[in-house]
Chains A and B, each alone.
Chain A
Amino acid sequence: MLHGGHLLSVLIFFPIAGSLALLLLRGDDHKFIRVIAMIVSTAEFLFSLLMLRGASIGAAGYQLEENVKWIVAPPINYHLGVDGISMFLVLLTTFLTPISVLASWNSIQLRVKEFFIMLLMLEVGVVGVFLSLDLFLFFVFWEVMLIPMALLIGIWGHERRVYAAVKFVLYTMTGSILMLVGIIWLYNATGTFDLPLIQAALANGLLTNAPQTEMLLFLAFFLAFAIKVPLFPLHTWLPDAHVEAPTAGSVMLAGVLLKLGTYGMIRFCLPLFPEASHRAAGWVALLAIIGIIYGALVSMVQPNLKKLVAYSSVSHLGFVVLGIFAFHNISIQGAVFQMLAHGISTGALFLLVGMLYDRRHTFEISEYGGLSTPMPKLAAFFLFVALSSLGLPMLNGFVGEFLILLGTYQRHWGWASWAALGVILSACYLLWSYQRVFFGQITVEKNRTLPDASWREKGILAAMAIVILWMGIGSVFITRRTETATNTVMEQIAPQRPYEAAAPARGMKQAPTGFASENQAQTTSMERLGTR
């Protein structure tokens, strides 16, 4: 199934090549290194654009697939593929990377080479996660992405960077290890790591898990994703990580890494464990709603600008999770869109905060005030981004939130009504902080002489602003392409499959396709192991 050439492999390995090239460069010629990094990331972005052409709209299933044997026992394949959802998330990643490179142009001055290498490796990990269709491969990339991010935070971060970095890693590992156990368990039940195969097995009723088993598996996966998202009680790593990370780190973290969680939910939790998802939906939604309101309220009272944005992410991602677990095709569409929108607008917010930091080296809101006077352009961009983040129609934030709430309301009007409070609160914290930072008289003398946005910054922000506006008006361009994927998910989680009643309590139905009851599945998989 090697149609579509090796575009996806290129997407994964090109940044690796780039970082190797950087590795060979001399460490002290910073200018040159930055330029190379910029070229590489931009080229990567252009490559990724080719996916739009390569993937045909409305075609079901995965496209541009690549499937090569990798490990013999247990059989693990190097299996890549995109659908509407992953395609745009990859685009988001490849778009944000050059932006981050540009954003750290001057702010990173020590160990420049290593910095950009880490950035590119991070891109590799993330793109790999989005593209891999083999559970094992997925997990590999999932872990690969961990270390570069940790180092980005830990080496180039601010005061408490080490604490934040370690916290980040430990939180993520806690989830991911359990997910590994879950993946293996799933393998034992099916004898394969291949996502499409497992989905097929579920679709035609060959694989049915006992309710309790399924719930355990679901939790194993869900925990990992919930930590990444982060869902309400598991979110405390986020503020620290964000506050301590360098601008580029925060941009990638908020823009892309958080999406890995929600992506995982859509891609794995729902399709693989439909019944469990349905049973858990209520609780998940509860947590999501708590996250929306709680995150917004906490964000509102933060004295630290970056923390404020971080908590706002908790609130926004709550919307996404809610949309996913409302099981309504509109809300899931909205969730996907919201992922992208949040990636752009929150990324932009972090960029702006970073620009303020570059000027004053503090995140304390009290240190600012009246900045509109010295830097009107930055103020204008900030307002624009803030508006998109609080969901003003015709900007990207609105489309996602609106669809999520609309869809959710169709199934559970109560959830939607509670979540909609977030719309009010987001206005509160964003406008309040904006007022405190940019309006009024200048309170701190230093601020009087701050320079307005430089050309580089203007370029970055203009790019973001254009995307924000375009997504807000031309949302159809995206939704048209994600529709089939989300509909597929909807079909996969459609509750009752006919033969369920007849299905045995655990394990799989006897069937010619080689799926055997769980124990036999083990032996079959072992035989597969043994005979290789």
Chain B
Amino acid sequence: MTAQLVVFFALAALAVIGAVSLILQKHPIHSALSLIVVMVALAGLYLLMGAEFVAAVQIIVYGGAIMVLFVFVIMLLNAGVEEHTSISKMAGIPGLLLVVALAGFVAATIAKSGASVQAATQTGMLSSTKGISEMVFKDFVYPFELTSFLILVAILGATVLAQREKS
């Protein structure tokens, strides 16, 4: 049981706990915070895998930007503890069983077929950041450009949707 493995399990446990608490928390704010925990844990795992750039982005963009946005909205709408209704019949016991079945099946399949992915040989060898930047601006320049338009769309949407009706 190497140190790496210990760290991995620690972080994994953290992530899972965060996710579970996202589910269990009644107040959106707490959910948001537990989601942040998950993201931090994942960032740690990225580091563990030597993907430092991704880890950084994970912290900055996800943890920093997106989640802040969430929290901001929650505050804006001062959403309280969510009311517990169960109008939907489907989302009761049957839903539970179905979800468990689905998740279980996916996990099991992956566990079985994990062997098909050969274990990593040279970790951290590829100086990821430089390589990534090269790929982004060379191989994947087209989707990269497209994402810019995507963000424009997002901005546009946000303004259109959120702006008050001009009478």
Chains A and B directly touch (beta carbon < 8 Å): no
